[in-house]
């Protein structure tokens, strides 16, 4: 997801997105362990997507706490 799409979500939506990305990353790690993953660059992209979503989630929570 792009950052603009993530910034439009609320806290609950961001949390579900992080959980979904973490689940997908776990599945990719299992595929890599069993030699079924051909494109290992997807691991990197999902890891970065998780970090992006967590960063926006933290910014959103901090912004709501400041109000």
**pTM for the predicted model, two decimal places:** 0.91
Q: What is the C-alpha to C-alpha distance for residues 50 and 36, in angstroms, rounded to an integer?
A: 22
Q: How confident is the model at residue 11 (pLDDT cuts 50, 70, 90)?
A: very high
Per-residue pLDDT tens over the stretch 22-62:
999 999 999 999 999 999 999 999 999 999 999 999 999 99
Domain residue ranges of the chain, discontinuous segments joined by +: 15-62
Note the pLDDT of residue 65: 85
CB 60 within 8 A of CB 14: yes
């Amino acid at each position: 997801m792009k950052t603009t799409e993530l910034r439009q979500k609320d806290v609950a939506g961001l949390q579900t997105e992080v959980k979904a990305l973490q689940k997908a990353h776990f599945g990719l790690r299992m595929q890599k362990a069993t030699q079924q993953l051909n494109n290992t660059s997807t691991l990197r992209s999902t890891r970065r997507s998780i970090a992006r979503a967590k960063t926006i989630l933290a910014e959103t929570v901090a912004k709501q706490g400041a109000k």
